[in-house]
Chains A and B, each alone.
Chain A
Amino acid sequence: MIARRSIFVPAMLACGFAFLYVPILSMIVYSFNNSRLVTVWDSAHSPTLKWYALLMQNEQIMGAALLSIKVATLNACISVVLGTLAGLVLARFGRFRGRTLLGAMTAAPLVMPEIITGLSMLMLFVAMERLIGWPAGRGITTITIAHVTFSMAYVTVIIQSRLANFDDSLEEAAMDLGARPVTVFRRITLPLIMPAVVSGWLLAFTLSWDDVVISQFVAGPSSTTLPMVIFSKVRLGVSPDINALATIMVLIVATGVVVSALWLRRLERRRWREMQMAVE
């Protein structure tokens, strides 16, 4: 490449990453601060783990966390199924009636403001309850349904772009050998796109785990998710136990991301190599 390298781009990269990470790091640091004021460092009594202890005893937060995990897991599993089906249809089925509609409906949730989605889904649940009696009241069911509706759009994009990179002569070979379409999908396509499916699952999980706005609309009185609890707390100002919670979450996520990135990369590379060798 051309030899002259300016300092601008690397500097911007450094600034950008600093911008991204300094807030997170500051949050972590102040979670060990003894002072209730969070950002005023109490050097006499810090660092301390007392906020972490308090956090563990906080039933409201623990209960909400459990609920969020349940909803997020449920959401991820369902979204992955629906999203894979949708991605498959859009990538492989060519032209059919309703294709543009499906394409539009899997693209729109990616940008639709959550406030609109939340409002409209609540209206739907209210109308459905009046009409057919289900869903009765707002709770885990409604939250899950709402989350699935927007998560599956993300999964669809991931699966669709993975399939676009896929050499379909492998599937054709399988069919040539007598495998029916369902078998082809189960034994050829699915294993080879598994890394994308796993990414999709993780993404759907995170989206649900993180969601505030939509949950506020469609959650019921007895079902409060963790983000809802956090949001109502932080509206009133900073709170040190939230810092502690944040640190825990960041650590879990960081470990998860690094581990899964490495594992996925190895899996992906192996699959890709296998596929290349098969096609050559």
Chain B
Amino acid sequence: MKISTPPFTRRMLGVATASAIMLSLGGMTSALAATPKDTLVVAWAIDDIITMDPGESFEISAGEIMGNSYDRLMRYDVNDPSKLVADIAKSWSVSADGKTYSFELKPGLKFASGNPMSAEDVVFSLQRAVILDKTPAFILTQFGFTKDNVKDKIKQTGPLTLTMETDKSYAPTFVYNCLTANVAAIIDKKLVMSKETAGDMGYGWLKTNYAGSGPMKVREWRANEIVALERNDNYYGEKSKLVRVIYRHVKEAATQRLLLEKGDADIARNLSPQDLAALASNKDIKTTATPKGTVYYFSLNQKNPNLAKPEVREAFKWLVDYGAIGDTLIKNIGVIHQNFLPVGLLGASTVNPYKLDVDKAKALLAKAGLPNGFKVTMDMRTTQPVQGISEAFQQTAKRAGIDIEIIPGDGKQTLTKYRARTHDIYIGQWGADYWDPHTNADTFARNPNNADDAKSKPLAWRNSWDIPELTKKADAAVLERDASKRKAMYEDMQADFRKNSPFVMLFQQIEVAAMRSDVQGLKIGPTSDSTYMFKVSK
């Protein structure tokens, strides 16, 4: 049956369409996008932040917030990270026996709250970090501080002076470098203790609040949404040029790029190599880049009998197409680096002997009694560039007869497996915890106990790599007080590591930020806590 169209239907549809158009017209008001002149808007994936307490915080984005909003005794020079510069300390010295460190503070300092700062606050902050014993506390407790002794070891000696006594005579650079870390940030004792509940030293409150003295103060943190910083007018040094810095959580790189191009964000932090290449011709956008303290690697679990053979370990190092990976997958975001110390740290080696050489790998496999290769699995988290690199590696390894089955997973999932030592091959990354070579030596080249129930589980342990000799070398290097001798020791360890370790070191990360051309003074720091937004203007 043919039904004629009633005019009413058409009218109804017309009304519906018109109302939809009206709705979209409502949005036409903000055609021109620009951020306010005194406010910097940063598009960044900040969903890793879980706390605002410097005694607990250990995440990348939180590190930057802490670096901008809390002071510490000293910082390192972002232009030359091997140099230390004073922050709130006026002077410092170490005793002849190398165990007692003395500090004197600059006079007249104030917290953002208006409370005056004294040595009492510094002592409180360091003691608090040790007593709370959260994740980053090991940076301080490795000097022999415990909950029970820290009140005797870190002491106030005058209104502006304090001393700190370590258990051994460590390399002074090592101790000072550790004091630049976030965990040693100075907290407003009076403010925090006024919020204390049930003897928690203000831990419950500070998780989502702020009690510092840095150039910027934290106005608000809304998880997965926003972090707002504001200028701290009580800051002792040069005041921030910007009134406000707003970090907006934008997970998707393509979305970050759109915001930046449109001018709704001043800086975008997580762009992909493709995005960066596409933006290169845009005159309104510029970029800045810094090599970070993060290295990427494949590791071979020594519990797997095939992977435990020294020839197989070496063969894998010849089966990575470093050149192709460097030119494509990590272009602009990383440089090939085959050592466990990232460039920028004391003693870091730049020797990169390996390249793709399938024949050499085949010969090594034959020597190991595996001329036809073998089958093995690899756990990989599904993020770039990790995924692309893994797939490229799968291809080149196949040419030597090694059949790699890739097991994709979420980051936390693959990590859980890695930490339980049940993987075969794992592709991972490691960022320096503090700015001293010991941070990486401690995890790559130190494994004091390879038993399943070991107390400390560094990366060497996770791959079941038992290395008593190298462990001794790492322990000695941290006590060497002569900086040039110490440097030589790390170079020696890296040479040994390059040749024998079950780690195929791939590249060092370069962090790139893209920004609008009117943004001035942005420099990405080598560590997460040294990208200083208070030095930026626009």
A binds B: no
Report which B residues bind A (CB closer than 8 A): none
Binding site for B on A (CB under 8 A): none
